[in-house]
Amino acid sequence: MKRRTFTVEKPSRVEAVLRGALALARDEVFALVERGAVYVDGRRAKDAAARVAGGAKVMVVLEESGEAVTVPSPRAAPLVVLYEDADVLAVDKPPGVTAQPTPGKVGDSLVDLATVYLRKQAGLVHRLDRETSGVTVFGKNPRATSALAAAFREGRAKKEYLAVTGSGVPASGVIELPLSKDPSRPGRWRASDKANGITAETHFTRLSDDGAVAVVALFPQTGRTHQLRAHLAGIGYPIVGDRLYGGAEGPRCLLHAHCLEIDDLSIEAPVPPEIARFLT
């Protein structure tokens, strides 16, 4: 990732600072701020007209360098098996693959790939969003599928996710903001104690912070739709690449299901390179 870092000599506005330091046009500056690529003293700048104090440290993320991080197509992504026994199949879901078939598109989902691998119907018991990667388990027979589903329903499935956010996330904490559908944007959930939402609880620990982005470990205590994405956005630190929730520009929504424990079974998916690069 190509970055430019410099110190502001005298008080000015974000727009003027970037135009002077980077020789950019006004619309280019506003585009950088809008996509979340500008940070002042480690915090993302949200307004190009905001004042910047003298001595402030400004960092601008200009572009990706080296090999491009791309989301693989489902057909090109082989099924990566993390664990298998007589009852359970655990795989590392790649980003860009839906958990189950969508209307008008059948055959490319993770459950389709698992079914082909098993040569019989794979029992889907939980789902990751399309751009989320990581541990996904399937039942290999009806009894195992029911038992796995019960473990998730009863809270015996312990999950750890990794996410990349903006810099400045607290060292640790608990987010208990209720979730409700956002009436202003279909498909999005809002995390707010001002709405009549459903209970949700997420514990988190910061793992690294380089002044531009941070990596956090997330431990959801409930399993609500978009819980982690909405909770992080609700406290002001949306996930990088999560356009729906206002995250800074990234190769994808940088959320990864890293570990899953169900009773005595523990499964871990390797940290993908687009997230591992930020772990310091």
Q: Is there a domain that residue 238 lies in?
A: yes
Residues 217, 193 share a domain = yes
Is 129 an active-site residue? Answer: yes
The pLDDT of residue 68 is above 80: no
Among 122, 153, 184, where does a domain finish?
A: 153
Residues 267, 197 share a domain = yes
* pLDDT of 108: 78
The pLDDT of residue 69 is above 60: no
Residues 206, 124 share a domain = no
The pLDDT of residue 70 is above 90: no
Pick the range with the lowest mean pLDDT from 29-38, 111-120, 159-168, 174-183: 29-38
Residues 269, 240 share a domain = yes
Give residues with Cβ within 8 angstroms of 87, minimum separation 6: 139, 140, 141, 143, 144, 147
The pLDDT of residue 162 is above 50: yes
What CATH code is carried by the domain that includes residue 203?
3.30.2350.10
* pLDDT of 49: 85
Q: Of residues 112, 129, 182, 209, which has the active-site annotation?
A: 129
Residues 161, 147 share a domain = no
The rounded percent of the chain whose pLDDT value lies above 90 is: 61
Residues 161, 266 share a domain = yes
pLDDT digits (tens, 9 = 90+) for 86-123: 999 999 999 999 998 765 455 678 998 998 899 888 99
Residues 227, 118 share a domain = no
Residues 107, 218 share a domain = no
Among 153, 170, 199, where does a domain finish?
A: 153
Residues 137, 198 share a domain = no
Q: Is there a domain that residue 68 lies in?
A: no
Among 44, 63, 82, where does a domain finish?
A: 63
Residues 251, 213 share a domain = yes
CA angle 253, 157, 272 (to 5 degrees): 30
What CATH code is carried by the domain that includes residue 44?
3.10.290.10
Q: Is there a domain that residue 269 lies in?
A: yes
- Kindly state the average pLDDT of the residues 46-60: 85
Helix (H, G, I), strand (E, B) or coil at 231: helix
Q: Is there a domain that residue 44 lies in?
A: yes
Residues 166, 253 share a domain = yes
CB count, 10 Å around CB of 117?
Answer: 16
Number of domains forming the structure of the chain = 3
Q: How far apart are CA 243 and CA 131, in angstroms?
A: 11
The domain in which residue 98 lies consists of 74-153
The pLDDT of residue 75 is above 60: no
The more confident residue out of 186 and 272 is 272
